[in-house]
């Protein structure tokens, strides 16, 4: 349970860092980042998974790059659902999704391996 909470906090902090770095992405505080990180996770686990399965042939043709497009759409979906979280357009979401993945991965390297 502790590890799940740490992952959630890291996702929220990563989202705040992305909002600072990427123009067009705005988060109105840590509470909005916490809620947005949950919505992004749920969107990726449900709709994102279905879309990735359905577009697998296209993703294979693009060597997996189409997954970045799906992640950008999941970020835009979360922004549409969460008050206090705003994504200006597709390119902001696209580069924000890349940055969010990299920053989350980097921060999760500091977690214990339990």
| 20-51 pLDDT per residue, tens | 999 999 999 999 999 999 999 999 999 988 99
Residue 11: inside a domain? no
| 54-101 pLDDT per residue, tens | 999 998 999 989 999 999 999 999 999 999 999 999 999 999 999 999
Phi and psi for 111 in degrees, rounded to 5? -75, 155
Residue 21: inside a domain? no
Q: Which domain holds residue 42?
A: 31-114
What are the residues whose beta carbons fall under 8 Å from the beta carbon of 75, sequence distance 6 or more? 40, 87, 93, 96, 97, 100
Residue 2: inside a domain? no
Residue 41: inside a domain? yes
Residue 73: inside a domain? yes
* Number of structural domains in the chain: 1
Residue 44: inside a domain? yes
């Amino acid at each position: 349970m502790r590890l799940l909470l740490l992952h959630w906090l890291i996702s929220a902090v990563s989202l705040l860092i992305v909002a600072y770095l990427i123009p067009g992405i705005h988060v109105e505080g840590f509470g909005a980042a916490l809620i947005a990180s949950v919505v992004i996770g749920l969107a990726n686990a449900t709709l994102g998974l279905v879309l990735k399965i359905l577009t697998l042939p296209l993703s294979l043709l693009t060597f997996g790059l189409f997954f970045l497009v799906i992640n950008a759409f999941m970020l835009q979906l979360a922004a549409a659902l969460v008050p206090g979280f705003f994504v200006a357009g597709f390119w902001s979401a696209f580069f924000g999704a890349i940055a969010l993945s990299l920053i989350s991965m980097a921060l999760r390297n500091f977690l214990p391996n339990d």
